[in-house]
Amino acid sequence: MPIKLFIKMLFAAMLLTACAAPQQTKKPISVTTPNDAQQQLQQILDEEWQYFLDTYPAYASYLGLGNDQQNSRWQDMSLSAINAIDAHNRDVLAKLSSIDAEQLTDSQQTNYQLFKWQLEMSIEEHKYKSYLMPIDQNQGVQTLDDMANFVSLSSVKDYENWLTRLEKIPRLLEQNQTLMETGMSQGMMPARDTMLRIPAQIQKQLVDTPEESLFYRPFINISDHISSAEQARLQLKAKAIIADHIIPAYAEFNEFFINQYLPATRSTHGLWDTPDGKASYQQKVRYFTTTDLTPDEIHQIGLDEVARNRAEMDKVMEETGFDGTFEEFVNFLRTDPQFYYETPEELFDAYLAISKRIDPEIVKLFGKLPRIPYGLKAIPDAVAPDSTTAYYNPPAADGSRAGYYYVNLYQPETRPKYEMEVLSVHEAVPGHHLQLALQMELDDMPYFRRFLSFTVFVEGWGLYSERLGYDLGLYKDPYSRFGQLTYDMWRSVRLVVDTGIHYKGWTRQQAIDYFKANAAKSEEDIINEIDRYISWPGQALAYKIGQLKMLELRERAQNELGDKFNIKDFHDTLLGSGSIPLSVLETNIENWIASVKSAK
């Protein structure tokens, strides 16, 4: 999952997991009325949620929870503001630590522990100064226009807020440039190979007329609920802001990027080659996996999973009757026209058909389904060449926007048919949409647990869901089964190449070659994936680590419960607490197993 611009901005700004998986060792006392500790915790959680929305206004808008003041601002990306967030987190951690946790109820202790770990991880992450590398090929100020796809633009006030936000883009560009200049002076620089993708993205903002600007697109077809006179006024104001502020600001940023920043970027690729790089990477490993696994241990897990998947893939290859080596079979899959659609329209329609086929089968595996639906959209043309195959964006918290499964239609001849089923169960249902929409509907939980996520859980669930495709009647032909194995292999390879790049000193080409030798994904996808791992160290580890724990817990439950095992109850329990660290998940499942055993 990675998951898109605003979620990535959020994760970069406020880390959401702990240095190690949470351990619930204290036995909570049973209370039925609020006491001082409970009231103190609730006050902190309420105040901090409001602080969070105020500090990250783009995410507040994305959730559909922003007020007018938040909906007209960007995050303050000045160095002083970033340091102020760290100071604030330290103050809140001190307040939180003063609470007598033994006086909290069971559920409140979990809230206390999770929130405390969020603060601790954010404080630890701050010292490694990743904020000095604020942009990459998938997100950053060069793609701010994309936010219009995720904010409400249905009233005059909505458009006025958006216009006010547009007026503030030059300041945001200046702040990002200052961060990048500071990074240059301190040796905190990204890899040149990924930064070479950025100039073309900035160029999309350097247009001759305002009407050509990506920022003008929301003003082309304004809601009919707005009068013609107001529409004309809003359009005129948008053209003036774009011409007088946005285009000149991007031209200046482009000059800085091309002439100063890009030449100073690193020829190496891993985080190891930055100040305190190995320690920074180890912190990100703990963050993304919620475990104490070391990079070396994860690398070995990856090697083992690659070998297991390869053996399964060899069996499927034999089933197809292909006469040749594995490398020849993979090349056959990458190049034979029968495995690809010719046009973006055909590819989109095929994704839509798969989604409609999956939806009615979900009731076989789940007792509780989300109320809010999801839809299918194409990844915007402006970023599609540099984007991965697909991604998911959650619904708005206020119900004003459904969840959306975004698919990449760029160069359909590189998007294999045999990957489409497995991709859909990961990104839509029973993957990200089902899990994240259900989490948002957990009304009895504090906001930070309903709307913020542990990557290892979210992406682990997405990868676990790929296996559920067999239960849903997918993967009927050997090529689709090979596609499922290819995706599982893909996430196994990630463990090897991510740790290889950022901890063991692998080059970008080494990682690409290893990926190509072990997975049937197209070269276009592989290169985009490797560059993603370079730009977002450690995130790719979460998928396989989370999936392996969920598979382990399902197998344990089936073995211990036998005929009493119910797949719907298991999944409802697994998802019932929202996104949580792996050790909390394990405790939840163990408690469920015990309760089923004890039931008459």
Give the strand pairing for 374-378 and 390-393: unpaired
- pLDDT per position as a tens digit, 175-192: 999 999 999 999 999 999
Q: Are the beta carbons of 581 and 454 closer than 8 angstroms?
A: yes
- The amino acid sitting at 105 is T
Strand partners, 37: none
CA distance 32 to 106: 11
Burial of 414 (0-12, 13-18, 19+ CB in 10 A): middle
Burial of 168 (0-12, 13-18, 19+ CB in 10 A): middle
Q: Which helix (H) or strand (E) holds 476?
A: none
Backbone dihedral region for residue 276 (phi beyond 0: left; psi -120 to 50: alpha; all else: beta):
left
**Cα 494 off chain centre by:** 15
Dihedral of CA atoms 349, 354, 356, 358 in degrees, nearest 10, equals -170
Looking up tokens 């399902």 gives 554
Query: What does 352-369 look like in DSSP terms, one character per residue?
Result: HHHHHHHGGGGGGT-S--
| Tokens encoding 518 | 């072990």
| Tokens encoding 106 | 């069971």
pLDDT per residue rounded down to tens, the chain (600 residues): 334 433 443 443 333 322 333 333 333 334 445 689 999 999 999 999 999 999 999 999 988 899 999 999 999 999 999 999 999 999 999 999 999 999 999 999 999 999 999 899 999 999 999 999 999 998 899 999 999 988 999 999 999 999 999 999 999 999 999 999 999 999 999 999 999 999 999 999 999 999 999 999 999 999 889 999 999 999 999 999 999 999 999 999 999 999 999 999 999 999 999 999 999 999 999 999 999 999 999 999 999 999 999 999 999 999 999 999 999 999 999 899 999 999 999 999 999 999 999 999 999 999 999 999 999 999 988 778 877 789 999 998 888 889 999 999 999 998 999 999 999 999 999 999 999 999 999 998 999 999 988 999 999 999 999 999 999 999 999 999 999 999 999 999 999 999 999 999 999 999 999 999 898 777 888 999 999 999 999 999 999 999 999 999 999 999 999 999 999 999 999 999 999 999 999 999 999 999 999 986
Q: Which of 271, 305, 379, 277 is nearest to 543 (CA)?
A: 305
| Tokens encoding 298 | 């994860």
- pLDDT per position as a tens digit, 341-369: 999 999 999 999 999 999 999 999 999 99
CA distance 178 to 229: 41
Give me Rg for the CA atoms of the chain. 24
Q: Are the beta carbons of 400 and 63 closer than 8 angstroms?
A: no
